[in-house]
Amino acid sequence: MDIRLSATVTDSIVDGPGLRFTVFVQGCSHRCPGCHNPDTHDPLGGRLADTRGLIAQMRENPLLSGLTLSGGEPFEQPEACLALAQGARGLGLDVWVYSGYTYEALLNRGEAARALLLACDVLVDGPYLQGQRSLELRFRGSRNQRLIDLNQTRARGEVTLWAPPVW
């Protein structure tokens, strides 16, 4: 399946815990002022890639702990992002997804969005708000954004925030 990409990072340590394969999708209708990735906004920019090829790249690195879907806006390409998430799951990787939409809004965005949420472990939700920017935050850019543990949220029936493991 084709996906429109801005870029990939094969060994990220800043887009979630552990060593991650990060996919920056192309296209974002949020266009948040001060966005860290403004070059991803144009839905016609970037390049086309095949999801099978990206999954093959993940398979080549036995040190990966997860896949991160970032952007751009992954939920504007939910089917292709779902294919990547399922491929990563098949490799035993966890899946994080960033979105300018809130969790609650994504639940109402249709079946494809809900399917992608089901294939992910953590959702970093909410638009980037320049006035709430903080360099002290882990894995997010502004204080309004939540790191939602989707597995615990589904199990408990209420939004549950992700907490890093205690060693």
Per-residue pLDDT of the chain (167 residues; tens, 9 = 90+): 999 999 999 999 999 999 999 999 999 999 989 888 899 999 999 999 999 999 999 999 999 999 999 999 999 999 999 999 999 999 999 999 999 999 999 999 999 999 999 999 999 999 999 999 999 999 999 999 999 999 999 999 999 999 988 87
What are the chain's domains?
2-156 (3.20.20.70)
Q: What is the pTM of this model?
A: 0.96
Query: Which residues have CB under 8 Å from 19's CB, separation 6+?
Result: 11, 12, 13, 61, 63, 64, 65, 66
